[in-house]
Amino acid sequence: MIIKERELSRHIRPSDYPELAVRMCDISTGAGADGMIVVRQDPALEMVFFNCDGSRAPMCGNGIRCFAHFCKREGIATEDSYSVKTLAGDMVVEVTCREPFRVKINMGKPLFSSDDIKVDFKGENYLLRNLTLDDGTDIEINSLFMGTIHTVVFMDNLESADIPKLGEEICNHPVFKEKTNVNFVKVVDHETLEVKTYERGVGMTLACGTGACASVLVANMQGRCGKQADVLLKLGKLSISIAEDGNVYMEGPSVRILDGKFY
């Protein structure tokens, strides 16, 4: 769900955006969405993203593709390549196809320090850990910052595992001071991953762009896939590539499903 800040400013203050996000994203009394995006144009083009629970997230991979599509359709961004300001840094957008709309985003480089992930682990550049669950079992996790905080869990039984329950428990585990997105990954082959994501502030989601990037990054670091891989999601596919300089690129579609007014 995307709104121009210039239109919002006539009716609502920025401090009220979190409450507005909750109301607009409500599936029963609002439009129903995982998040709300505010298009800020002054002093620079910026994507301001809120989860459906009203919390602000630094970045959203799916959101920035929708943001780019909206800006192209509304004439806000007339070039096919431009920069978008986010809390996770400036993201470079490149429109690769106008109809059907596809866009490639330079998502920047991953971060691996404990400070970036907001955990108490010390002295490690790459966080591969065993996490003890409520039932006493240990699960291997891989955590990093890729646009936002992500944890990657490799599984062979995505179909039979209770992903929503596991995702909620890992997301809210006390080791993560600011919670974490949780990506459950099945390696299909060396060029293909299947991913299901539990998002902090949202719950289970149909797709997560930053999560797809995080999943390919960790899989590549562990030799499970190459530097370029397709990520299969519930409603489609994203193409993720890791450049020699460490920057991660995400390419995928955006589809407009409705325009409307919220009262």
E strand map for the chain: 2-4, 35-40, 46-51, 56-57, 81-86, 89-98, 101-106, 127-132, 138-145, 149-154, 181-189, 192-199, 203-205, 228-233, 236-242, 248-253
How far apart CA 254 and CA 11 sit, in angstroms, is: 28
Amino acid 18: pLDDT: 97
pTM of the shown model: 0.91
**Helix axes 61-73 and 209-221, enclosed angle (nearest 10):** 130
Question: Kindly report the CA angle at 17 between 15 and 21, in degrees rounded to 5?
Answer: 155
pLDDT digits (tens, 9 = 90+) for 61-90: 999 999 999 999 999 999 999 999 999 999
200 assigned binding-site residue:
yes
Terminal-to-terminal C-alpha distance of the chain: 15
172 assigned binding-site residue:
no
Q: Which residues are catalytic?
A: 60, 208
209 assigned binding-site residue:
yes
51 assigned binding-site residue:
yes
142 assigned binding-site residue:
no
Amino acid 235: pLDDT: 87
Q: Is residue 171 within 8 Å of 200, Cβ to Cβ? A: yes
62 assigned binding-site residue:
yes
Domains and CATH numbers, the chain: 2-106 (3.10.310.10), 114-252 (3.10.310.10)
Amino acid in the structure at residue 192: T
pLDDT lower than 50: segments of the chain: none
E strand map for 7-159: 35-40, 46-51, 56-57, 81-86, 89-98, 101-106, 127-132, 138-145, 149-154
Structure tokens at 115: 């400070």
